[in-house]
Amino acid sequence: MKQHLDKVEKIVESYDCEPSNLIAIMQEIQTEFNYLSEAALTRVAEMLEIPISRVYSVATFYENFSLEAKGEHIIKVCTGTACHVRKSEPIYNALREELKLTGKRKTSDDGKFTLETVACLGACGLAPVMTIDGEVHSKMTPEAAVALIGEIRRKEA
């Protein structure tokens, strides 16, 4: 946690502790940690000398900000029209099953994978498309998607 907050402090300082840079600061913290922890947001509010409620209202207003810890690998399955028509939903469902995600849970128990959807990745000609850590995988099938997860697990075992 100390390291986490040290990094947060460095980021805030790099923006001269200037409240008008709040969004940029939060974006950089999210890029660094994949999410905005409660401790990080509290520290930001203290250092910028602004109410914590203001920080939370920004964090919850913008969809790109996440208040939930994410896994080491971020998987995004495209649910845009072209991908939907070419059956992206079974891919998403197969991954949910593989990662044993139930209800609203998006992150696997081992903290390795977070599964999300995305509106359109701009690669409709390659539908159905998914990304893992930003790398695009095209013309996916449920089997191929699950195999990619297996490959990552094997590499990291």
Backbone angles phi, psi at 11, to 5 degrees: -65, -45
By CB under 6 A, name the one of 47, 67, 120, 146 that touches ligand FES. 120
Q: Cβ 123 to ligand FES, closest distance in Å?
A: 4
| Among the residue ranges 6-14, 48-56, 104-112, 115-123, the one whose residues contact ligand FES (CB under 6 A) | 115-123
Q: Cβ 145 to ligand FES, closest distance in Å?
A: 14
> What DSSP character marks residue 131?
E
Q: Is 58 in the site for ligand FES (CB under 6 A)?
A: no
Q: Which single residue is written with the structure tokens 């998006």?
A: 106
Q: Is 130 in the site for ligand FES (CB under 6 A)?
A: no
Q: In the chain, how many H helices and how many E strands?
A: 7, 4
Cα separation, 96 vs 72, in Å, equals 16
Q: Quickly count: other Cβ atoms within 10 Å of residue 133's Cβ.
A: 10
By CB under 6 A, name the one of 14, 57, 60, 81 that touches ligand FES. 81
